[in-house]
Amino acid sequence: MDKTGHPITIEYVERADLSVERSVLDSVFDAGLTGIVVRDALPPDLVEKAATRLQSEGLKHAWTSPNKGMPGGEIRTICDAATPTFTALRGPTLDAYARSANDHSRWSHRIFGQAEPTTQIASVFSDLFGGRPAARPSLGNGHHWAPFNFRALDPGIQIYSHHDNHYGLDIYQALDSDYDRSTLLSWFVTLQPAQTDGDLVIYGLWGSDPDPPMLPTRFLDTAALERDYCREAVSLGAGDMVIFDSGRHVHRVTPVLGDRPRLTLGGFLTSDKARSKLAFWC
Ligand SMILES: O=C(O)CCC(=O)C(=O)O
Ligand SMILES: [Fe+2]
């Protein structure tokens, strides 16, 4: 049987080849392109240093387990994300998020050293958006949203099928109403791939489609997605970045296999309604 669903198109580019002449991100905002992979978005020595630090004894206490109690889905993170978790189904409170966001640069410097990559990440986004600027949005009272958080998937752990539809959470009342909430893109940089699997798989199913295949547990039925829908697996090496339309497309990360964690850093991305600037946060 032919697979069903919205087409999935991914464009692959090298960081060194990016030029501001072409705005690839506009095509993603317009849902003409599903995603972009930027190879070598961060330098290899920086990525390797971060992967080592993230697995060091000294940082063990930094990790939290926001999905504690979710069988097979217990992701570990450093810094909170503005998403629902198994322990906070309606996402973090503004207070908790602001506290975590204030700690972000301290953690990021401990992990990367002086070469903390927020500026480099902003410049990748900007180069993909015809040179228009990219920055963290304001959270009010002089504070800012955190630019990204760190994630670890240990062997046996996966991210179950979902789409990222978070603007309804209370915390997003703190996001300026000038930003376009009709689109939510996810992005992440792989710091250490899993030995085996741990791949991002994007499906042709949109979160807004009627009658998605559901299990009685109210989770999406991944076996049915694999059977009936078009899919695209995105395999990323250390230093590679993916940006994709996670607000529309159902996606997941397959269970990590092997003897080391899969490490990523990432967050979300949108533009203002006038498409004059980008905002990224986690
Ligand atoms: O692998 C990751 O860091 C997150 C995958 C995901 O679900 C997303 O980026 O929306
Ligand atoms: Fe996601």
Q: What is the structure's pLDDT at 104?
A: 98
Q: How many CB atoms lie under 10 A from the CB of residue 177?
A: 8
Query: Exposed, middle or buried: residue 39 (CB in 10 Å: 0-12, 13-18, 19+)?
Result: middle
Q: What is the structure's pLDDT at 66?
A: 96
Residue with the smallest CA separation from ligand 1 atom 9 is 186
Q: What is the structure's pLDDT at 19?
A: 83
CA 144-147-152 angle, to 5 degrees, is: 135
> What's the 219 CA to ligand 2 centre distance in angstroms?
14
Q: What is the structure's pLDDT at 28?
A: 98
Q: Relative to the CA of 187, which ligand 1 atom is closest?
A: 9
Specify the pTM: 0.97
CA 210-213-215 angle, to 5 degrees, is: 130
Integer Cα distance of 105 and 268 in angstroms: 17
Integer Cα distance of 192 and 228 in angstroms: 31
Q: What is the structure's pLDDT at 22?
A: 81
- Averaged over successive runs of 10 residues, the pLDDT of the chain (282 residues) comes to 93 92 93 97 98 98 96 97 95 96 97 96 97 96 95 98 97 97 98 98 98 94 98 97 98 98 98 98 98
Residue 206 near residue 165, CB atoms below 8 Å: no
Q: What is the structure's pLDDT at 33?
A: 97
> What's the 163 CA to ligand 2 centre distance in angstroms?
6
Residue with the smallest CA separation from ligand 1 atom 7 is 252
Query: Exposed, middle or buried: residue 144 (CB in 10 Å: 0-12, 13-18, 19+)?
Result: middle
Question: To which CATH superfamily is domain 10-281 assigned?
Answer: q2cbj1_9rhob like domain (2.60.120.620)
Residue with the smallest CA separation from ligand 1 atom 5 is 253
Helices and strands (DSSP H and E) totals, the chain = 5, 17
Q: What is the structure's pLDDT at 21?
A: 77
Q: What is the structure's pLDDT at 100?
A: 97
Q: What is the structure's pLDDT at 20?
A: 79
